[in-house]
Amino acid sequence: MSTDRADRIVQIIGLGNEAGDGHMRVTEGEGFRVLLGSEHSHDAMSEICARIAAQLKSEGRALEDLTEEEFIELLARIDGSPET
């Protein structure tokens, strides 16, 4: 496994395109930014990112500690599970 920073995820960017209501939505958190989107899609993307950040914090890890494979595994673990 490579430890090169280029092989790491350092930030999640969520970008929505279907707002249509004139609102400029921007949400930032630890390791993520969610921009634009409808209220529903923006909130959904923000929730997923917040759950990722919370899970990493509970594990004492940071986003940049994860390989791409570990990130995908983390997404699979939190997908559809209730927020703790």
Report if pTM > 0.85: no
Residue for token pair 């990493």: 56
- Whether 36 and 24 have beta carbons less than 8 Å apart is answered as yes
Examine residue 83 and state whether it is found in any structural domain, yes or no.
no
Examine residue 45 and state whether it is found in any structural domain, yes or no.
yes
Return the pLDDT at 3: 54
For residue 20, what pLDDT band results from cuts at 50, 70 and 90?
A: confident
Q: Phi and psi at residue 21, in whole multiples of 5°?
A: -110, 5
Which residues span the domain enclosing 39?
5-78
Structural domains in the chain (count): 1
Examine residue 84 and state whether it is found in any structural domain, yes or no.
no
Examine residue 12 and state whether it is found in any structural domain, yes or no.
yes
Examine residue 14 and state whether it is found in any structural domain, yes or no.
yes
Whether the per-residue pLDDT at 79 is higher than 90: the answer is: no
Examine residue 16 and state whether it is found in any structural domain, yes or no.
yes
